[in-house]
C-alpha cells in the first residue's frame, strides 16, 4: 500500500473516530442510583429561583430532562405529567421539567398547555451537563428522568423514556421504590 493511501486511510479513520465520539450518546457515567443528586439553583418558568436543596425532607422529587419546549415529544411528555400530576403528588412527589430553553420560552410553553408543575430553565446547560444528559455538540438535553428520594438520593434513572408514558412510569416507580426503601 502506498504512503499516500496509508495517510488518507489514517485521516479517514481519525475523522470517523472524531465524528463517532460526537454522535455517540453521552451517558451519566458519573451518576448512578444511590448517589446524592447534584445540587443546583435554576430559574422557573415564572423567573423565581428554585434550589434543589430546598426539596430535602419534602418528599420525592422527579427531575425530567427534555430537549425543547413546544416540540411534539416534549409537549406529549409535559401534557402526560400535567394529566397525571395528582397521582404523582399523591405519592408525596413533586415534578420539575428541565430544559435548556429560556425562561420566556418556558413561560409560553407552560401557559399554552396549562401545565400544573414547575419548568426550570438551564439555559447555560450546566445542570444538564452535571446530570450527564447534555447532547454532544448541541446545547440541548436528552430525554432522561431521575427520581430522588426525600434525602435527594438518586433512586431511579431512566434513559429510555417514552414521552407519552413517562408520567405513568414515574408514579409506578415511586410506589415501588417506597415499598423497597427501608
Measured between alpha carbons, how far is 76 from 165 in angstroms, rounded to an integer? Answer: 9
Just list the catalytic residues: 74
Residues 108-134, buried b or exposed e (16+ Cβ, 10 A)? ebbeeeebebbbbbbbebebbebbbbb
Element housing 78 (H / E): helix 72-89
Phi-psi category of 70—alpha, beta or left, where left has phi over 0 and alpha has psi -120 to 50? Answer: left
CA distance 10 to 79: 49
Amino acid at each position: 500500500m502506498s504512503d499516500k493511501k496509508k495517510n488518507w486511510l489514517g485521516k479517514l479513520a481519525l475523522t470517523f473516530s472524531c465524528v463517532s465520539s460526537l454522535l455517540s450518546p453521552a451517558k451519566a457515567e458519573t451518576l448512578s442510583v444511590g448517589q446524592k443528586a447534584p445540587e443546583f439553583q435554576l430559574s422557573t418558568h415564572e423567573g423565581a429561583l428554585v434550589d434543589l436543596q430546598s426539596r430535602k425532607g419534602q418528599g420525592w422529587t422527579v427531575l425530567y430532562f427534555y430537549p425543547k419546549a413546544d416540540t411534539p415529544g416534549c409537549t406529549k411528555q409535559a401534557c402526560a405529567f400535567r394529566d397525571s400530576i395528582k397521582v404523582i403528588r399523591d405519592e408525596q412527589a413533586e415534578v420539575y421539567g428541565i430544559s435548556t430553553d429560556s425562561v420566556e420560552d418556558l413561560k409560553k410553553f407552560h401557559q399554552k398547555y396549562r401545565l400544573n408543575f414547575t419548568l426550570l430553565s438551564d439555559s447555560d446547560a450546566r445542570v444538564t451537563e452535571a446530570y450527564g444528559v447534555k447532547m454532544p455538540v448541541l446545547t440541548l438535553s436528552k430525554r432522561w428522568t431521575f427520581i430522588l428520594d426525600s434525602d435527594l438520593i438518586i433512586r431511579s434513572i431512566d434513559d429510555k423514556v417514552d414521552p407519552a408514558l413517562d408520567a405513568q412510569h414515574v408514579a409506578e416507580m415511586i410506589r415501588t421504590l417506597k415499598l423497597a426503601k427501608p
